[in-house]
Amino acid sequence: MRNFAKSGFVVLMLLTCAAACETRQEAAPAKTAPAQTAAPDRNPDLFNQVMISDFEPVTPPSASAAEPVKPRGDAACSTGGTIVRGASAGLVFLNEADGGTDELSTVFLPGAVTDVICDGSMLYAASGPAGVFIVDASDAKKPRVLKRIDTPGGAYRLDLEKDTLVIADGTLGVVVMDVSKPRAPQTLAMWRPEKGYVRHAIIHANTIYVANGRQGIAVLEFEGKGILRLTGQFDTPGIVRALYLENDRIIVADGPAGLAVFERKGVSQLNETGRMKFRDMVRDVAALKDRAFVANSDDGLVVVDIRDPAAMKQTALVEYDKPVNRVVLDGKRLLLGNDADGLSVVDITDPDKPISGGE
């Protein structure tokens, strides 16, 4: 299996780990923020909770500062022949032409990068309590951090639609940013749940679907600058960790309660049409047409036929030495977050016969 954790970068890694970041964020007290109702009206005071600033790169730890460790890093994306990997000390840029093993550069960031989105030459990296970093990667050998967005909570995952960036901010909910000018991002709206921990939020047009942990799925409508209104809430038997929008369906990674499929009815109505349980926890999911790709922790990558949600069935299983925590659909391949084993690439030209890359 192709494993990018073996680059020379490992000797510089901090002992912090991205996989444990979520647990630390939930356990740690949230940053102070004004109380909100579940569906706040326009409130200019909320915007003071998001700070935009320049950022000076962190000085990398010396090789003698700690024993070399094999870092955990589950986040990844690709752009212009470069794979960008989020790791425990920042972002690592890898040259795909050399099989993903040639390290082009590193951007050191505070905290562990828990998600990264590639949008052409612009990157957006979530780094827990350290916030979100906007990076210009037009030159992958010399990437530059343009701005830091310090959110009130712990930035865990991201979604991007055109110039709108949605930040899943843990106990402090959802932050919506306008990134049409990367050097001058602006806060558009914020929403804080009365309960829950927002692990993921995805946007479609003006609707945002929120993975709110034990509180299920929340549906928000963005009604203009400063207004993000709760229009629906749906309980699940598990812990909603991630969502994936596939046509008129929402595919749900529901933690210990498995994989669920919800049909979208109108703007804010969701109806569960099927559920499939697994031996281990479902941590993430991606989908392509009638196949779902499930990050099933210690059980590896599971491919599921979701054509009939009421009778879903497994079509393939790829096992790994370490847990599979994250799955990113990247064309005809998957980028898998393999815990301490780093990142793996899987060819899904035939989704029922996935092929893992070599070591």
pLDDT at 59 (0 to 100): 62
- On whether the CB atoms of residues 4 and 13 are closer than 8 A, the answer is no
Which residues on adjacent β-strands are paired with residue 250? Answer: 245, 262
> What are residue 219's DSSP bridge partners?
209, 232
Please state which of the ranges 23-37, 59-73, 173-187, 257-271 shows the lowest mean pLDDT. 23-37
Q: What is the pLDDT of residue 305?
A: 98
Would you say how long the chain is, in residues?
A: 359
Return the pLDDT at 111.
Answer: 84
For CA atoms 316, 285, 295, 119, the dihedral sign is positive
Quote the CA–CA distance of 183 and 147 in Å, as a whole number. Answer: 6
3-state helix, strand, coil in the chain (%, to 5): 10, 45, 45
Report pLDDT for 61: 56
Q: Where is pLDDT greater, at 346 or 1?
A: 346
Of the ranges 36-40, 202-206, 230-234, which one carries the lowest mean pLDDT score?
36-40
CA 19 to chain centre: 12
| Average pLDDT in the chain | 84
Q: Give yes or no for a contact between 17 and 23, defined as CB atoms under 8 angstroms apart.
A: no
In the sheet that 115-119 helps form, which strands lie side by side, from edge to edge?
Answer: 51-53, 144-150, 132-136, 122-126, 115-119
186-201 mean pLDDT: 95
pLDDT in tens, 306-320: 999 999 999 999 999
**Mean pLDDT score, 60-81:** 63
pLDDT digits (tens, 9 = 90+) for 72-123: 568 999 998 899 999 888 999 998 876 656 889 999 999 899 999 999 999 9
Segment 126-139 mean pLDDT: 96
Return all residues near 250 (Cβ < 8 A) that are at least 6 apart: 209, 217, 243, 244, 261, 262, 264, 270
Q: Does 144 or 17 have the greater pLDDT score?
A: 144
Does residue 303 carry a pLDDT above 50?
A: yes
Of 139, 143, 93, 91, which Cα lies nearest the Cα of 114? 91
In 82-206 the beta strands, taken as DSSP E runs, fall at 82-87, 90-95, 102-108, 115-119, 122-126, 132-136, 144-150, 157-161, 164-168, 174-178, 186-191, 200-204
Label residues 179-215 b or e (16+ Cβ within 10 Å = b). Answer: beebeebebbbbbbbeebbbbbbbbeeebbbbbbbeb
Least confident of 99-113, 158-172, 206-220: 99-113
Mean pLDDT, rounded, for 158-183: 96
DSSP 14-79: -S--STTHHHHHHHSPPPP-----SS----GGGGGG-EEE--PPPPPPPTTSS---------EEEE
Q: What is the DSSP letter of 6?
A: G
Give Cα 214 distance to the centre of its chain: 18
Query: Is residue 21 over pLDDT 90?
Result: no
CA atoms 352, 256, 322, 87: torsion sign: positive
Distance CA 221, CA 210 (A): 11
Averaged pLDDT, 138-167:
96
pLDDT at 26 over 70: no
Q: Is the pLDDT of residue 224 over 50?
A: yes
Mean pLDDT calculated for residue range 124-139: 96
